[in-house]
Structure 1
Amino acid sequence: MQIHELVGTVHEAAWLPWAVQYFFLIGISATAVFLTFPAFVLGRRAQLPIARLALLTAVTTGIAGPVALLADLHQPARFWEFFVYTNATSWMAWGAWIVMSYVILLLLYAWAVHRPAFYRWGKDNWRFAWLFRLLSLGGEANGFARSFGIGAGVAALGILLYTGMEVAVVHSRPLWNTPLLPLQFAATGAVGALGVMLVLGRFFGTGPTIEAWMNRLLAAGLAVVAALGALWFHVAFSGLSASHTEALASVAGFPVWQNIALWAAAAIVIPFLIAILAPARSGWVTGLIAIHAAWMFRWTVFMGGQAVPKVGSGLYDALMPTGLEGMMGVIGTFGLWIFLLIVYTTFVPWDEADLPGDPASIPTSAPSSRTVQG
């Protein structure tokens, strides 16, 4: 007789809710950048309202996301070790360089776009004139916007690639080790970005025309998410991909995962139908559902993926802890984003951003009523 005994050890979860926040926010930022391109890179004036909301979204989430990443490392100095002890074969090590490059290029892109308005504010606001003149570097042209925008776009592609790959390469977790995961992160990130833009559009009153436009983009994004989900199940059921088949087998027998599949379908179908049938007056609903769907996808992948044992049967509990590493951390990260949103909309002329390199498009009127007054 032979006895095979499996002995497990107690260990902390590899990814905490901080990681969910990071992947959620950085995915929104990296995809929102591309929604700024039609106006700020290609010069299409009709796209300005959407591009302004997209840049506002990209910058604020692009700053808040890395803060959540530092929190997930438990010790900020660990981030510095990625630069000092670089491992060329590690996607996480490459990610440290990509994140740093992305944030820098994103801020330079935003500065170039807002530079003309900073220049105007520097001439008209007597108390803060010195600050706005400093921010504009004494110039009123935004000709750098295209170059910095393209650079930020390349870095954003790097963000989408590395965030997907550093999870997909983990062979010990079947639910993570799926080739479609990077594409699913990118698609759900775009859905989340459009959700944030729809909510902000309603808050700032961009109007039903712009709201309908963004809802149509959201419907297209949801269709892509649905197509990727259908493809995931097809390759899993058909056996075309052994990793997808193993991932499905690891969760298929559990009612909680069956409920998650139903939730995912509802989170796609409901906002899709609303965005198609009532695009002009539904931004609050479709936007909030889209944000929820993007966040819950990452929670399911990271926390739900760790709830599937590497050895043994059943599932571990994947409950949201209440401390700083759980619910309070998630709430705090959203609070940080709201703080950044308030600062950005107060001290940055986000709604005066105009087309790059077109002197005729640069208005000469006084700053808007939201300008910080002396």
Structure 2
Amino acid sequence: MYSSVEVLGFAREPAWLPWAVQYFFLIGISTAAFFLSLPGLVWRHPEWRAVSRRALLAALVCGLTAPVALLADLHQPGRFLNFYLHPNLGSWMAWGSFFIPLYLLGLFLYAWLCLRPQLAALAERGGKFAALYRALAYGGHDNPGAIRAAAVVGSIGAGLVLLYTGMEVMVVQARPLWHSPVLPLLFAVTALTGGIGMTGLLEALSGSRTSALLLNRWQVRGQWATLLLLLVWLLPAFAGAAGSAAEALAAMGGSLGWQVTGAWLFGSSLLTLWLARRYRTALVLPALLALHGAWLVRWVVFIGGQSLPKIGSTSHAYYLTLTPDSLLGIVGMAGLCLTIYIVLTTIIPWDDRAEV
């Protein structure tokens, strides 16, 4: 007696391209860096003063860049306007169109209030930008109450952004790698480690290492939390429990590429943890590895998650190409971040001697 097996495979381009990876990466870093700025600029803890200034700079650089990646992922501004013209309040993505402006409004207001005294001091020194500094300072008074109020608005917005960026991916039941309650927590924790990494990188670029011990101490905690969440996601699947993690592992089974990727994800987290604990005054290597780890998690989830078959048995590998939607877009976003960093650091000094 003979039996036949029909194997179906449907080749399909990924719906979420590297633009989505960059947006989730940059907005996560911005929100985490915003929270890192609060101890020094709102609560005025002396040990956090320098690192909070660098964190505010990181929040602004990534916060200004992230919406560009989001609009590029939507391919045309009209799609973004549709969220407001025809709101679907049952969609996490639609709610995100309200959370993002709330966060950015709070961030920019908070940054302006924190920088006003410094802008007034720069105006007093004179120079070709004196008139601009005077206009931006708008009196230049340090107003702790207003800073706290703006920080509350920014904190609510940042928390909602972290919530929606995790939830809008987690609710997709058709993607086993996405549909896990661990995913929003993993995105939030890796956003924290990436935010610490970006702040540490800016600290190194400023030529200061005064905050290295503080940043590495929090980096260690973040990496431990990342490893714990990865284990929480994987252990039930290895134990044979049913669920999305088990489905994802079954789809990855026998793939050398997935095994290497998984090993590197765990290995890079362990390496970052070891460097942050062993070399507590180091900034560049732990920072770069932390940024790489935060980006890799999002790449694996978005691009890797879409490569797993929804139906049939065919995986759909994605390859980087020299196109705006792929490698050129990634390089372009890095260039935009660098450009905004250069502009902000040219207009406003961010070193330890600058007054807040």
- TM above 0.5, yes or no, is yes
Structure 2, unaligned runs of 5 or more: none
Q: Deviations over 1:197-239 (max 9, x none)?
A: 22211111112x4112211211111011011111111232345
Question: Residues 150 and 252 (structure 1 numbering): CA distance in 2 closer, same or farther, change over 3 Å?
Answer: farther
Alignment of 1:157-172 (within 5 A): 157-172=159-174
Q: 1:115, 1:142 within 8 Å by CA — same for their partners in 2?
A: no
What runs of 5+ residues in structure 1 fail to find an aligned partner? 355-361, 364-374
Q: Amino acid of the residue matched to residue 177 of structure 2?
A: L
Task: Tell whether the 8 Å contact from 2:117 to 2:140 is kept in structure 1 after alignment.
Answer: yes
The 1-side partners of 2:324 and 2:109 are apart by 32
What is the alpha-carbon distance in structure 2 between the residues aligned to residue 172 and residue 242 of structure 1? 12
Q: CA deviation at 1:94?
A: 0.4
After TM superposition, give the deviation of residue 11 of structure 1 in Å: 4.3
Distance in 2 separating the partners of 1:126 and 1:268: 47
* TM-score, with length taken from structure 1: 0.89
Question: What amino acid maps onto 2:249 in structure 1?
Answer: L
Alignment check: 8 A CA contact 1:117 1:352 kept: no
SS at the partner of 1:188?
Answer: helix
What is the aligned partner in structure 2 of residue 268 from structure 1?
269
Aligned to 1:150: 152
Contact 1:191 1:222 in 2 (8 A): yes
Whether the 8 Å CA contact 2:9–2:314 is kept in 1: the answer is no
Tell me the CA shift for residue 61 of structure 1.
Answer: 0.2
1:317 — aligned with what?
317
In structure 1, how many angstroms separate the alpha carbons of the residues matched to 2:203 and 2:72? 30
Q: Which moved more, 1:330-339 or 1:11-20?
A: 11-20
* Aligned residue number for residue 204 of structure 1: 206
**Residue matched to 2:328:** 328
Counterpart Cα distance in 2 of 1:221 and 1:130: 43
Question: Residue 181 of structure 2 aligns to which amino acid in structure 1?
Answer: P
Displacement of 1:245 after TM fit?
2.2
Alpha-carbon distance, 1:167 to partner: 0.5
Deviation at 1:5, TM superposition (A): 6.3
On the 8 A contact 1:39/1:47 being kept in 2, the answer is yes
Equivalenced residue count is 354
What does residue 57 of structure 2 align with? 56
Q: Give per-residue Cα distances to partners, 1:236-270, cap 9 Å, x unaligned.
A: 23455622222222223322111111101111111
In the alignment, the residues of structure 2 paired with residue 288 and residue 198 of structure 1 have an alpha-carbon distance, to the nearest angstrom, of: 9
- The residue number in structure 1 matching 2:278 is 277
Contact 1:40 1:146 in 2 (8 A): no
List structure 1 segments (4+ residues) > 3 angstroms apart after TM superposition.
1-12, 238-241, 349-354
Of 341-350 and 7-16, deviating more is 7-16
Q: How does 1:1-374 map to 2 (within 5 A)?
A: 11-143=12-144, 144-207=146-209, 209-238=210-239, 242-280=243-281, 282-351=282-351
Q: Could you say if the C-alpha distance between residues 267 and 69 of structure 1 is closer, same or farther in structure 2, counting changes exceeding 3 Å?
A: same
Identity %: 40
Amino acid at match of 1:229: L
Distance 2:326 2:107 in 1: 29
Tell me by how many angstroms 1:3 deviates.
8.4
Asked if structure 2 preserves the Cα contact closer than 8 Å seen for 1:106 and 1:149, the reply is yes
Q: Is the 8 A contact 1:180 1:232 kept in 2?
A: yes
- Aligned letter for 1:91? W
TM-superposed deviation, 1:102: 0.9
Residues 9 and 313 in structure 2, CA contact (< 8 A), matched pair in contact too: no
Within 2, Cα distance between the matches of 1:154 and 1:351?
28
Note the C-alpha offset of 1:19. 0.7
Q: What is the alpha-carbon root mean square deviation over aligned residues?
A: 2.1
Per-residue CA shift, 1:176-206, capped at 9, x if unaligned? Answer: 1111100001111111111112221111111
Distance 2:237 2:154 in 1: 35
1:6, distance to aligned residue in structure 2 (A): 7.4
Partners of 1:332 and 1:31 in 2: how far apart? 23
Per the normalisation by structure 2, the TM-score is 0.94
